[in-house]
A and B are shown apart, each in its own frame.
Chain A
């Protein structure tokens, strides 16, 4: 398989997953802002930092309020990680590999792009926000469904899956991070205790994980258990550890996989050996940053091995 084709497939899946999870991230923050008493949340600004777009955001001249942040994250074609851009980039990648993917998949991505251009461009009115974001999430779910149901399990499928799981792990980390940054006060603060569980519940719900959490953990929602569930569960398909497990399986059927497999395995082991003990804001954020760096290394090793074979040949 051509490196360009492999890379396009990988990014096709990453961009779709990114669009979905950006929508989820906005939903969770919207809920947090509504659930917490005025004055104790950081509002919408942390989302920009979490997707590492501070510079682009400030260049856009928007304000750090709800309207500015959502317009930037949802409907701004100048922001390369907005939902509309992610969908447009997914479509562009799909277009160049149309002969490799099921026709339905291409048509689905194309339809979503047209929807985004019509409904999401420029931002969203508050009252229809939920509906449109939900549409994006469901369309991305259908994307995965079409893939699972119609594509042969060849190399193309492996690269698509690799892109999806890596992006999903990355975005789950960032969504958990939303929570860490919105809790500015110490967790012991008595006045915030009543809100504690509600907040974690909304994080779970945004990842469609509330019910799964209850089934699996059989304990009421509390911070340590939720973070452990989202980071380390080996069965919940949006949990970071589980995503890496799926990634490992996909990689094991690819050629020349020694390097990337080693990086993934090391990261999984690290997650198990160094679990988060303290869910306070600072340490949670530091922990997330560390995991994100690990995921970045996984991407680099995929890129070096598969997307830039000249480099790989030189190294060998």
Chain B
């Protein structure tokens, strides 16, 4: 438990940023000379005035607010079943100057446009394959390619309406895109709740610093979804489809439904009528549904087409979608561009579809499917991170520098057997942010997940969800694996 102050045993320890250990990595707030990065000046000055007791008080206030606001995430526990845990939030925000953010924002918009163009192309004429810029065989072997989507044209030609792209910053300050989540990316509710909590913790800073607000998101999400309605003249009936209370992101599903003023539905609440329209079972009878923000994976969406045993989906949903009677966000099949092998082609897609140079670089990657790259990867396993192409949440990876000889041998076998399933990247030293650790401030590694909404308009969240690895030196930021989070401040005026 954290001490909430008042014991009197604390030594007066004020923060001296010149003693803060930055060396060898990029810190988001503190320059190597101990001075503040753009936008972080006032925050660092305020923190410098805190002793251990004040720091503990503020963190205690944040923890209490999170408990009181009921911000939880669900983890599956072997004995207890699924249990709700309080969301871990560190009080020290991550700061990005607005000028830099505008550049990142443009890069994200560019990227998502190209990704949507690619998905649409994949399910239509495959110009990119014809042009010899993308090997068609990679598609057929992709776990997230859906032949059922071939020839379908969703509204506005957009497949990935909600995209969460993970960004990391390397030691030289370059921001890279680590991956794009185009299936059911989660975390945005925590971005919104983190802001509410931190406003309570540092009200004085919000008064003095121009921190860009984030709370537009639910209305932007609603507008994004509403624009997809097949009945544009009517007030659209938008619902959020959740797998149910046992899903780890259930809090978020309920939260977003509530914030948008929509019904939170499960598969069994919906049915597809003989007219191929989707209806909700309500106390007033069946009511037509126009747009489904689905947080259920493709394969469970419709037992008629995909997993026949799925209890989470709606029989006939794909039929209704193909007939254009309901919009699904994200569209089924959008995950084809979520594949890490496809990821390596995104810079080429930007050049091919948009005729532009990519504004945000990919992390350099080796495709194990390519014989020459494979040879390099196998020879350098101890330095590289090897990732399976279809996993998310940090599962099934080999982190070379932290691996044993036996693990490397096992991975070498996996790569040789199924080269298409793996890519390798250099081990990046993620940037750090000062973080409260037992009433002291220490650097911890972070990433950033902004969310990009696309339909008739494109919106990028102001910042996003900063995830932080709470263990010293760790690069694992996933909340299911002990990661925490931070509020993200975009500071400045245009």
Tell me whether A255 and B281 are in contact in the complex, defined as CB-CB below 8 angstroms, given that A2-B263, A99-B264 are known contacts.
no
A242 to B271, CA, bound (A): 39
Which A residues touch B245, using CB under 8 A? 95-96
Which A residues touch B70, using CB under 8 A? 103
Q: Does B257 contact A (CB under 8 A)?
A: yes
B266→A4 contact, CB < 8 A: yes
Tell me whether A4 and B269 are in contact in the complex, defined as CB-CB below 8 angstroms, given that A95-B245, A98-B254, A99-B264 are known contacts.
yes
Q: Does A254 contact B (CB under 8 A)?
A: yes
A1→B271 contact, CB < 8 A: no
B254→A309 contact, CB < 8 A: no
A2→B271 contact, CB < 8 A: no
A2 to B283, CA, bound (A): 6
Q: Does B23 contact A (CB under 8 A)?
A: no
B285→A313 contact, CB < 8 A: yes
Closest to A98 in B: B254
Nearest Cβ in chain A — how far from B235, in angstroms?
17
Closest to A6 in B: B283
Size of interface on B: residues with Cβ below 8 Å to A:
20
Which B residues touch A3, using CB under 8 A? 269, 281-283
Q: Does A306 contact B (CB under 8 A)?
A: yes
B254→A2 contact, CB < 8 A: no
Please report which residues of chain B, range 237-294, place their CB below 8 angstroms from some CB of chain A when the two chains form the complex. 244-245, 254, 257-258, 263-266, 268-269, 271, 280-286
Nearest Cβ in chain A — how far from B217, in angstroms?
18
Which secondary structure dominates chain B's binding surface? mixed
Which A residues touch B263, using CB under 8 A? 2
A178 to B133, CA, bound (A): 82
A95 to B83, CA, bound (A): 12
B269→A309 contact, CB < 8 A: no
A4 to B270, CA, bound (A): 10
Which A residues touch B258, using CB under 8 A? 99
A39 to B387, CA, bound (A): 77
Please report which residues of chain A, range 290-316, place their CB below 8 angstroms from some CB of chain B when the two chains form the complex. 305-306, 308-310, 312-313, 316
A255 to B280, CA, bound (A): 16
Which secondary structure dominates chain A's binding surface? helix
Which B residues touch A4, using CB under 8 A? 266, 268-269, 281
Contact of A1 among B257, B266, B282 (CB under 8 A): B282
Q: Does A155 contact B (CB under 8 A)?
A: yes
A2→B284 contact, CB < 8 A: no
Q: Does A256 contact B (CB under 8 A)?
A: yes
B264→A254 contact, CB < 8 A: no
A310 to B269, CA, bound (A): 11
B257→A309 contact, CB < 8 A: no
Nearest Cβ in chain A — how far from B61, in angstroms?
19
Most buried by A among B244, B264, B281, B286: B281
A312→B285 contact, CB < 8 A: yes
Nearest Cβ in chain A — how far from B82, in angstroms?
10
A15 to B244, CA, bound (A): 21
A309 to B280, CA, bound (A): 9
B254→A256 contact, CB < 8 A: no
Which B residues touch A254, using CB under 8 A? 283
Contact of A309 among B244, B266, B268, B285 (CB under 8 A): B285
Which A residues touch B257, using CB under 8 A? 99
Would you give the 0/1 interface string for A94-119, flagging 1 where the beta carbon is closer than 8 Å to chain B? 01101100010000000000000000
Closest to A302 in B: B283
Closest to B287 in A: A309
B264→A309 contact, CB < 8 A: no
Which A residues touch B265, using CB under 8 A? 2
Nearest Cβ in chain B — how far from A91, in angstroms?
11
Closest to B68 in A: A103
B269→A1 contact, CB < 8 A: no
Please report which residues of chain A, range 250-274, place their CB below 8 angstroms from some CB of chain B when the two chains form the complex. 254-256
A96 to B284, CA, bound (A): 20
Nearest Cβ in chain B — how far from A94, in angstroms?
11
A256 to B280, CA, bound (A): 16
B285→A2 contact, CB < 8 A: no
A95 to B244, CA, bound (A): 10
B271→A256 contact, CB < 8 A: no
B282→A2 contact, CB < 8 A: yes
Tell me whether A313 and B286 are in contact in the complex, defined as CB-CB below 8 angstroms, given that A2-B263, A3-B281, A99-B254 are known contacts.
yes
Which A residues touch B254, using CB under 8 A? 98-99
Which A residues touch B285, using CB under 8 A? 256, 309, 312-313, 316
- Interchain residue pairs with CB less than 8 A apart (11): A1-B282, A1-B283, A1-B284, A3-B282, A4-B266, A98-B254, A99-B264, A254-B283, A256-B285, A312-B285, A313-B285
10 shortest interchain CB distances as A-B pairs: A3-B281, A306-B283, A99-B254, A309-B285, A6-B283, A309-B281, A255-B284, A1-B283, A2-B269, A313-B285
> Given contacts A155-B283, A159-B283, A256-B285, could you give 5 more A-B pairs where the C-beta distance is less than 8 Å?
A1-B284, A2-B265, A6-B283, A256-B283, A316-B285
